[in-house]
Amino acid sequence: MYLYQEYPGFISSKMITGYEFNRVIQKIVHEKKAIKQKAKKTITPLIQYLEKFHLYPNPLGNNERSWIAKCPSGGNHFLMVVTTTDEWGCGYYKRKGKLEELKKWLSEIKSKKDQKM
Domain of 104: which CATH number?
Answer: 3.90.580
Task: Show the low-confidence residues of the chain (pLDDT under 70).
Answer: 1-5, 117
pLDDT at 4: 56
Identify the CA nearest to 77 among candidates 60, 90, 58: 90
* Count of domains observed in the chain: 1
Q: Give the distance from CA 74 to its chain's centroid.
A: 15
pLDDT of amino acid 116: 74
Write the pLDDT tens digit of every residue in 74-105.
889 999 999 999 999 999 999 999 999 999 99
Q: Domain for residue 10, yes or no? A: no
Cα-atom radius of gyration of the chain, to the nearest Å?
18
pLDDT of residue 114: 79
| Per-residue model confidence (pLDDT) at position 2 | 46
61 inside domain: yes
Distance of CA 26 to the CA centre of its chain: 21
Distance CA 17, CA 22 (A): 9
Q: Which domain holds residue 92?
A: 18-116
Does 87 map to a domain?
yes
The verdict on residue 3 lying in a domain is: no
Whole-number Cα distances in Å, 10 to 13, 14, 23, 25: 8, 12, 11, 10
